[in-house]
Structure 1
Amino acid sequence: MKKYQSPYLGVLVAVIGVIACTCYLVLQLKGLGYIVSATSYGAISSTAAIWVGAIGVTIFVMVSGIHGSARTAILKDILILGIVVFLGVYFPLHYYGGLQPMYEAIEQAKPNYTILPDQGMSVSWYISTVVLSAIGFYMWPHGFSPIYAASSEKALRKNAILMPMYQLILLFAFFVGFAAILQMPGLKGGDADLILLQLSKQDFDPWFVGLIGGTGVLAALVPSSMLLMSISTMLAKNVYSVFTPTATENQIAKLVKYMVPLISLVGIYLTFQGGNTLFSLALIAYNFITQLAPAFFASLMRNNFVTKHGAFAGIIAGGVLVSIMELGNMKIGQLFPYLPQAIKDLNVGIIALFVNIAVLVVVSLMTKNITNNQDTDDLETSTVEHKVLMQKESNS
């Protein structure tokens, strides 16, 4: 982070970013495997689909770079918008006669099913997860890449206007999920990830199922390409260049390209190892990436009181807490059973974010004088060097 004038803070940010992006890459590859296997009616295995997809996106990234991903994303967005909206309207109408009859049928068959439970995935869990997702959405490294590659400020403004509207298609995805509650009961764990595809296979001809599958493949491959580029760039520019300051821009650019297949292999390996659902992987990724938010938003303030030491300590505290809780599959209620249920149900990531902010503030206040002294020393050194240089020029 240049605003904190600390290359090692940049290394830490890159490490957190790589962990989160890798989780998200695994999510995309898993989804790709599910889609191809389901829409090919089992003719292509999930394993084969993951290998072929990963190899394809690796070659695509190495050949076309970010501009190729941007062009493909246009086609992907058009297809997703059309298909998700169509399915979100079609399934409730087809099975129930409309949205209201659908909810009435669910309520009659499973009373209170649509009401959040009192504990576990309760109201406090839901709200904290939504807040975490909203904050984390702006922290993804691959989300910054299109900003730097934008053609103009006008294009950025237009994108900022359209993005909230684009998120509305999630509503239609929810309609598909609700429609499946009574049509495909009993789906749990990883099987729940296949709801849309199973309903589609049940109702549509193979050619249309193939169209849905092709759209899903694009929806997985485009983010995967951006993630591969982001991870490679972070490791090369934020980690390698710090420990190898003599590296040239050309060497770093080559390293970025050469790292893409290695990262792809790591993603494939982790995809075959993990047993988490797509939803769980997304939550883990957001839990990590959101830990960058306090230091980032503080850096945008005109009078930023946060020091590089505070930013570093806050990110470490939040990241370590998320790691311990996720690796140990622990919940807040297990550690503090005496807390109110609403607090015990909070998303782990939001708890880690509170810890992050607390540590950031305390350490920043404790190290404010140290940072000010360092800034003064740097200014004095710079002034002396400038005077010496001016003296040499006048003598010559």
Structure 2
Amino acid sequence: MLVGNLLMHKQYKRRWRAVKDLRDVYIRFNQAEAWYDLYGVDQNPGLLGKWLEYLHALNLEQFDSDVWKAMLKANKRRPELTPEGIQRNSQVAFCHQDMKELFVVDGMVCSPHFVTGNKMRFEKVGDLLKFLFLWDEEKRLGWGDKPYRTILRKSFELIERRLGRRRADRWLSEFLHLVRLTHWILPYPSNAAFITATKTSNGQGLKGRMMWFSAVYTHPSIVELPFKSVPSALYKVLWNAQRQILGSGSSGERMLWGTSQLISACRAQGILIHGLEEEREYWVVGKRSVGLKGFQPLWEKGLPPKLKMMKKIRDKSLDELDELMVEFTRIQGEGDESIGNQGVTNNNNEGEVGERSDVRHRRSIREVFMRHIGSNGGRSSQSSENIGTPTASGSGSVFMPSESVD
């Protein structure tokens, strides 16, 4: 009966894209979970740090991907992106400097539309991040099961199951801190839309636009308030941190940061992790009053930091990610212990022996990984049914992380 139903075909295709996106990131997540046992990650602090960093990067990358796909979908209904912007294929830094020429209205290239009104639902970044990322009973129609939300919850439950609730809470706090440090512009959501749109009125000449939240940092020891010009707190903090690491003679190019390195460098400059190291929220919406005219949007100057791990994993196949984990294991000096226990020759030697060892490493990873996803009938077969509605782990995990991750 459904063979000739073109409407059903269209709906199936639309749903399949979402299922495929979730399937792809879920496979990489399962791969990372298999690494934990294969390499004895918990036995080496350095390797554990890399594994947790990989999970941070995996989740950040999926969030960026989902935001970009939502932008393209919104653009089909209400064209707003420039042709050049569409071709960027998600390679966008979420800041004003990189997004200021991404949009076009009435033939004029313009900045994103920032929310600045008196009745904003979110005034603080922490409240916005809770709604965007964390799981609770509140409805999010059409976007509550987006891949980035599902995989973040899975990551939290995995870390809680392996390392305990306290370490999972800390990982999640660090993740939300990394979002703050690397995303100075965030989508402005509602219960019915991942990226809310402004009102449309042909009579008044109003065209619907995507709504964005400009996040600025306002600690009084770093920022002079009230703002008299474009905020530059993060720009200065990152510039000082990079200069201390690379030296005064470093070039103006942005360095690639490790996640713990970035967090530590910002901490040294006074930017602490909200909810973990400081009580008050200093990340707020960027706006200033202009009297009776309302508010004027503000945004952070410059470009946010780039993460080294995200560059390493971008567009990589499963085999290439296996090789990356082999590299991490080798660097951390675990070649003999964690790989040797699997019956694989240590690859510290050069030449032919090293090449054979690399092949065995990859084969061992893939075999363990395929057994892992193939157990209990095969997890991969659940992609179109259960993957969008994750359940709590058997470790007693509740759905809402503790208050320390606000």
TM category (shorter chain) comes to under 0.3
Larger proportion of helix: 1
Larger RCO (CA within 8 A; separation ≥ 6): 1
Q: Which is higher, the Rg of structure 1 or of structure 2?
A: 1
Larger proportion of strand: 2
